[in-house]
Structure 1
Amino acid sequence: MSTILQAIRKYANERSELVAFRGENFTGEEQTLTYAELLDRIEDAAEVLQRQNARCIALKAENSLDWIVADLSAMLAGIAIVPIPTFFSDQQVQHVLTESGADVLIGDWQGYGEVVAHLESLPVYKRAVSGTDKILPGTGKITFTSGSTGTPKGVCLSVMNLERISTTLAAEIKGQSHRHLILLPLSTLLENVTGIYVPLLLGVTAVVFRGSRLGLSGSSQFDARAFTGALVAQRPDSLVLTPALLMALIQIVQAHPELAESLNFVAVGGARVAAELITRAHQLGIPAYEGYGLSECASVVSLNTPFASKAGSCGKVLPHMNVALSADNELLVRGNVALGYLGEPFSGEWYATGDIASLDDDGFITLQGRKKNQIITSFGRNISPEWIESQAQVFAPGCTLVVTGEAESRLSAVISPQENIADKIQKFNDTLPDYARIHRLLVVPELRTKQHWFTANGRPVREVIEHWVRQTLAEQPYFCSQTDCQLINIQSSVMATL
C-alpha cells in the first residue's frame, strides 16, 4: 500500500479524532473530516470505482473535500486518474479525454451521458472508449502540462513518483505547517501534492474551499477582498502561491500587517520570482521561499527553506533529485523522473528540462528562462524574456508584460495599462544593462482578454505576440533614443479586430 495511504491508516488508528481536512464538499456544504472518517470514505469510494471497472478516471471539478476523496480512492483502487483543470477549453478537455482514454468521468460532466453512480456528492459517468491504449504501465496519475498550445501533453506518473516527492517535501517543511490553506486548483500537480499528500504524511490539517470563495477564479481572475477575507478567517501557517499571488499578498500585508503573523512557510513557484520581491516579503514578515519544479519530475525539484535560502534563486536541489548543466547551460535532472508521456516512455539517464539555469558553489539553482523562449537580438545577444518580465514586477506590480524582440536591434514589450507606466518602465530600464532595456512599450487595453495570446494557465503564446508586435511596429514611426522608452497606446478598436 502507498505510504500516503499508510499514513492515513496510521493516524486513523492512533489518533482517530485528528482532523485531516476542513472545508466544503462538491455541493458547498461545510464539513470536517477526521483521519478516521477520511479513511472510511476513501475505502467506500474505492469500492464504487471498482464496481465501474474503471481503467482511467477523468476528474473535473472545483476544489472540495469530495475532490480529495476521489483522488485518494483512485490511488487505493489502483486506477489511473487524470485531474482536469476547470479552466481548460472544450478543445483541451476533448484532447485530454482522447489521449488518456478515460472511461469513467467524475464531477462536472453534464452532457456526457447518464449519471451511473455518485462518489460522495460527485456524479459519476461512464464513457465509451475506443482506440490505442497510451497509458504507460505503472501509471497512477496523468497530469497534463498546458504548454504553449491547445494540445497539452499527458505526463504519466507512478504512485512511487508521488510518494518520493511528498515524502521529501514533508521532511523539508516538518514543523513549519500545521494548518495549510489550499489556494491553487487541486488539478494543479503542485497543489495536489502539497495540499493533500504532504499534509497527510505530516498528520496535519488542510483547509479546502472552491476558488471563488478564496478570491481565485479560472486561471488568472483574482479578487483581493475575498482573498483577504480567507486569510482573516482561516489564519493558515502555510500556503503555496504563484508569483502573482505573492505580489497580491505583499500588498495585502502592507495594509494588514497582522495577517503575516500566522504564516510559517509560503512556497512560491510556477514562474521566476524577482529577488526584490522575496526580500520585500521577508521584510513584511512573509516567510516566502521560491522553488522550482516540473510535471515530468512530479513537481518540485529544488526549494529554498528557512534553513537554506538565497533570494533570486529557486533553492537547493531536493535530496531525492540530482541535477547537472549541459554545455549550453540547460538544466538536466534525474532521480524522480516520470514514466513518460502518454504513449512515449522516457529513456536515458538524464531528462532535459528545457530551462536555462546556473548552479552556484553553494548548490543553489538560479533559472534564466526557457531555452525555447530565448530572444536573439540582431546584435547576437541571447536574452531570456522571463528574466526581464519577472524583474519588471518590482516596478510595475500586477502588470502583465510580455517582452519581444527576436532578430531586432532593441527590445519591445506588450503591457497592460497602468498609471504612469512609461515612467515606471523608464526607472526599470535604468537598472538593466543596455541590451536588455525596453525601448518600445505597446500598451494594450484588456490585454488578458486576448485568449489566443495566452495559454489556459496564463502563459504567453510568444510566437503569436511577437508576430503581432512586428506587424504593429512596421506601421509606427520609431523615434526613441538610446535611453528613452517610446510609449505606443493601442486603441481598443484596433484590438477588437484581432
Structure 2
Amino acid sequence: MNFLINTLSERANKAPQKVAIMSGENTFNNQALFDAVTELADQLKPFQFQCIALYMDNSINWVIADLAAMSLGISLIPIPLFFSKGQIQHLIKDAGIEAVLCQKFDSKIFTIQETLTLSHAQLVILNNLTKPNTEQLQQVAKITYTSGSTGQPKGVCLSLENIENVSLALAKTIENHGIKHHLCIMPLATLLENIAGIYVPLIMGNSIQIEPLSDLGFEQSSQFNPKKFAQAVERYQPDSLILLPQLLKSVIQLKQTTPNLFRSLKFAAVGGGKSAQSALEEALKLGMPIYEGYGLSECAATVSLNTPKSNKPGSVGRVLPHTQVRIDETGEIIVSGQAMLGYLHQDDLSQGQKNNEIHTGDLGYIDEDGYLYISGRRKNLLVSSFGRNIAPEWIESELIHSNHIKQVAVFGDAKPWLNAIITADSTTPDEAITFALTAINQGLPDYAQVKSWIRSDEAFSTQNQLLTDNGRIRRDAILSQYQGQLDALY
C-alpha cells in the first residue's frame, strides 16, 4: 500500500467523521472517502489494467478515481479537458491506454469497445490497437502529458517516490501557517493542483473544496469571469489557493475594488510562469498572502517556494528540502534529487531516479540568502541587433501587470528594438494600451523597452494552439501567425 492510501486509511481510523472533501451539497468525510476509493479499486482490480486515463471535470469523483488507480499500481494519465481531439488521440495511442475513467464518454474522441457503470465513474474500455509497454511502466504511477511549446504532447513519467517526496516536502514547508481549507481553482489534470491541491491537503488532514471550473468563473480555457470567481471565494472562504500569473492580476484587481474580499486567505501560491515583481509587491501592500514558487512537470511540479516566514518578492523562493539546484556556467538551472523517471518511449524508465539531473532550460541565479531567481527561458533569449541579451519573460511579466493588457508576447531577436503582440478587451482603445506601454517603458532600460506593438486577432488559447496546457505562450506558433505584421513594424 502506498503512502497516500496509508494516509487515507489512518485518517479513516483516527478521525473518520472529519471532513475531507466538499463539492456543492456533497461532503465526504475521511471514512467515506476511503470507502469510496476502496470500492472503486475493488471494481477495477479484476480488469488488471496497466495503463488507464482519467477524463473528468474537477469533482470529488476525479479524486476518487485518481486514488483508486494509485492504490492498484495502475499507471494513470490525467487528460486535461482543454486538450484537442488530436492531442487526446495522440496520447491514447502513444501510451497504449486501455480504458478511460470519465463522467460521460464521448464517442467522437474515444474508439469504444465497451462502457460500464462503476461507483463514481463511467469506465470506457477502448478498442486501442496500441498496447501499453508493461515492462516500461512497472515503476510509473502517473504520466502527465505536457503539450510544451511545440509539437505533440509528451508523457512525463513519475514514480510514487517522486510524488511522495514532493508532497511531503510541500506539506512540511507550508505547515504552521493556519491552512485548513483549500479551494481547487486549477484543473486537477494539471500536475501542480493534483499534487499541491489534493495530495498535500490529504497528508496535512485539511479539507478540500472542489467545484466544476465553470462554477468558479472559468467558462472556457481562455475566458474568465472575475465576478463569478469572487462570489465563489466568498462562498467557500478558502485558506489557500494556487494561482497562475494571469489570474494573480485579476485577484489583485478584485482586491483593489473590493477590499473585504479574500479575508480568509492565508496562503496563495503562484506559479506556472514568471510573475511581475511589481504585481507581487502590490499584493503584499494590499495585505494578500501571495507567494511565488517554481517548478516543472519533470520534477513533479514544485522545486522552490516562498512562504510567509521566508519571502523575497521577485524570487521564486528557497529550494524545497527534497531536491537540489545548481546553476551551470551558462546560467541554466539544473535540478537533481527529484528527477522524473523519464519521458515515455524516450528513456529507460527502469533505472529509477538515481542521480539523474534535469536541465530545465530556465536561466537564473541563487542569491547570497539562498533564494532562487528566474531570468527567462534559455531558448527564448533574444539578442538585439546591438548585441544585448534580453529574456522576453522579464518584459512580459511587467507588461501583463497593466489593467489594459490581458496577454502579451514580446519579440525582437536580431532587431534594433523590441515589439509586442498584445491581446486586450474589445472595449480597450489602442490609445490606452500605448499609454500603458509608455508608463511601463519608463521603468525599463532603453534596450528592454517595447517600442512598437500590434493587437492580436484573437486571445491566445489552448484551442487555437497559442497557449500550452499550463498557460504559457507558444512563441513559435505566435511568431508564425504574426510574422508579416511584426516585420512591417521595422
Per the TM superposition, whether the score is higher than 0.5 is yes
Deviations, residues 73-123 of structure 1 (Å, cap 9, x unaligned): 011111110000000001100111111111011114321326532343421
Deviation at 1:442, TM superposition (A): 0.7
Q: Does 1:109 align with 2:110?
A: no
Aligned to 2:417: 410
Q: Is contact 2:213–2:219 with CA below 8 Å preserved after alignment?
A: yes
Separation in structure 2 between the aligned mates of residue 452 and residue 238 of structure 1, nearest angstrom: 31
Deviation at 1:292, TM superposition (A): 0.2
Separation in structure 1 between the aligned mates of residue 101 and residue 145 of structure 2, nearest angstrom: 17
Matches within 5 A, 1:37-436: 37-107=32-102, 108-111=104-107, 112=110, 113=112, 115-131=114-130, 133-134=132-133, 135-176=136-177, 177-345=179-347, 349-396=356-403, 398-417=405-424, 418-419=428-429, 420-436=432-448
* Alignment TM-score, normalising by the size of structure 2: 0.92
Aligned to 2:18: 18
Range with greater deviation from structure 2 (314-323 or 166-175) = 166-175
The residue matched to 1:47 in structure 2 has which SS? helix
For 2:285, the aligned partner's letter is Q
Deviations, residues 399-444 of structure 1 (Å, cap 9, x unaligned): 2111011111111101124341101101111111111111111122
Deviation at 1:372, TM superposition (A): 1.1
Separation in structure 1 between the aligned mates of residue 346 and residue 124 of structure 2, nearest angstrom: 28
Aligned to 2:456: 444
For 2:97, the aligned partner's letter is A
Separation in structure 1 between the aligned mates of residue 466 and residue 205 of structure 2, nearest angstrom: 42
Separation in structure 2 between the aligned mates of residue 143 and residue 238 of structure 1, nearest angstrom: 24
Deviation at 1:398, TM superposition (A): 4.8
The residue matched to 2:36 in structure 1 has which SS? helix
Q: Is contact 1:59–1:83 with CA below 8 Å preserved after alignment?
A: yes
For 2:78, the aligned partner's letter is P
Deviation at 1:391, TM superposition (A): 1.1
For 2:87, the aligned partner's letter is Q
Q: Number of aligned residue pairs: give it.
A: 472
Deviation at 1:219, TM superposition (A): 2.6
For 2:282, the aligned partner's letter is R
Aligned to 1:496: none
For 2:361, the aligned partner's letter is G
Deviation at 1:132, TM superposition (A): 6.3
Deviation at 1:458, TM superposition (A): 3.8
Range with greater deviation from structure 2 (441-450 or 396-405) = 441-450
Q: Is contact 1:105–1:125 with CA below 8 Å preserved after alignment?
A: yes
Separation in structure 2 between the aligned mates of residue 455 and residue 278 of structure 1, nearest angstrom: 24
The residue matched to 2:295 in structure 1 has which SS? strand
Q: Is contact 1:416–1:446 with CA below 8 Å preserved after alignment?
A: yes
Deviation at 1:299, TM superposition (A): 0.6
Q: Is contact 2:75–2:137 with CA below 8 Å preserved after alignment?
A: no
Deviation at 1:470, TM superposition (A): 4.0
Separation in structure 2 between the aligned mates of residue 119 and residue 106 of structure 1, nearest angstrom: 9
Deviations, residues 134-165 of structure 1 (Å, cap 9, x unaligned): 54430000001120135111011011111111
* Structure 2 unaligned blocks of 5 or more: none
Deviation at 1:235, TM superposition (A): 0.5
Separation in structure 2 between the aligned mates of residue 50 and residue 409 of structure 1, nearest angstrom: 63
Separation in structure 1 between the aligned mates of residue 118 and residue 226 of structure 2, nearest angstrom: 33
Cα distance change on mapping 1:324 and 1:48 into 2, 3 Å: same
Range with greater deviation from structure 2 (85-94 or 395-404) = 395-404
The residue matched to 1:451 in structure 2 has which SS? coil
Separation in structure 1 between the aligned mates of residue 88 and residue 68 of structure 2, nearest angstrom: 23
Q: Is contact 1:60–1:85 with CA below 8 Å preserved after alignment?
A: yes
Range with greater deviation from structure 2 (348-357 or 76-85) = 348-357
Separation in structure 1 between the aligned mates of residue 46 and residue 356 of structure 2, nearest angstrom: 40
Separation in structure 1 between the aligned mates of residue 190 and residue 356 of structure 2, nearest angstrom: 27
Separation in structure 2 between the aligned mates of residue 137 and residue 146 of structure 1, nearest angstrom: 24
Deviation at 1:236, TM superposition (A): 0.4
* Structure 1 unaligned blocks of 5 or more: 25-29, 479-498
Separation in structure 1 between the aligned mates of residue 106 and residue 261 of structure 2, nearest angstrom: 40
Q: Is contact 2:98–2:131 with CA below 8 Å preserved after alignment?
A: no
Deviations, residues 284-325 of structure 1 (Å, cap 9, x unaligned): 121000000000111100000011000001000000010001
Aligned to 1:492: none
Q: Is contact 1:220–1:458 with CA below 8 Å preserved after alignment?
A: no
Range with greater deviation from structure 2 (412-421 or 137-146) = 412-421
RMSD between aligned alpha carbons? 1.8
Q: Is contact 1:260–1:285 with CA below 8 Å preserved after alignment?
A: no
Cα distance change on mapping 1:201 and 1:428 into 2, 3 Å: same
The residue matched to 1:345 in structure 2 has which SS? coil
Deviation at 1:207, TM superposition (A): 0.4
The residue matched to 1:300 in structure 2 has which SS? coil
Deviation at 1:473, TM superposition (A): 4.2
* Alignment TM-score, normalising by the size of structure 1: 0.91
Deviation at 1:220, TM superposition (A): 2.5
